[in-house]
Amino acid sequence: MIALASVLALAACKPPPTDADMTRDMPAAEPTFASEPLPSPETEGAMWARSQKNVQRLVYGIPGEPALVTLECRDQDGSVPELQITRISPADEGAGAMLALVGNGHIGRMAVDAREVNGRLMWQGERLAADLVWEPLAGPRALGLTVPGAGRVELNPSDLPGEFIEDCRES
């Protein structure tokens, strides 16, 4: 009983809370957020083609227009080959996201980062060529490629990516 009385006595010595601490300094500048999401590009007539500059690269886009996606087989110094995918779309400096490939009975997800390519920031990531993340590209049907904020790219049916991936795996 004495212990309870002493605890109550100590609590009575403290003043009640006030709203004096509710005034706070506001930040000097507005916080920066990600850029506005981009609409999905039109892909009617888009196709995969071998790059004219690099035999280890495929490009996807509408003929005569800038490419939307590239896929490159990289085998540096005899190491295990890997595939690098680039979504050619503006990216914010320091940003990262998950790229999703959905179609042909498979779903592949991989981390991509905003990287400088030819003086512009674009979404880019790589995985081993043997990784199952590439399976949606290996099938003969259409599929979708999505990067949050960069829209969804409809990839029209083609056997070329599957052949390219298989060649890369065997290199």
- Domain spans of the chain, in order of start: 47-170
pLDDT of residue 35: 78
152-155: strand order across its sheet: 47-50, 57-61, 69-74, 82-90, 120-128, 106-117, 96-103, 143-146, 152-155
Only one residue has tokens 């506001």, namely 26
CATH 2.60.120 fits 47-170, yes or no: no
Nearest C-alpha neighbor of 147 from the set 27, 57, 40, 15: 40
pLDDT of residue 27: 62
**CB count, 10 Å around CB of 142?**
13
Q: CA-CA distance, 156 to 42, in Å (whole number)?
A: 11
pLDDT of residue 1: 60
pLDDT of residue 38: 80
Per-residue pLDDT of the chain (171 residues; tens, 9 = 90+): 665 555 555 555 666 655 555 556 666 666 666 778 788 899 999 999 999 999 999 999 999 999 999 999 998 777 889 999 999 999 999 999 999 999 999 999 999 999 999 999 999 999 999 999 999 999 999 999 999 989 999 999 999 999 999 999 997
DSSP letters, 93-160, are TT-EEEEEEEETTEEEEEEEEEEEETTEEEEEEEEETTSGGGHHHHSSS-EEEE-TTS-EEEE---SH
pLDDT of residue 77: 72
pLDDT of residue 163: 97
Q: CA-CA distance, 102 to 108, in Å (whole number)?
A: 6
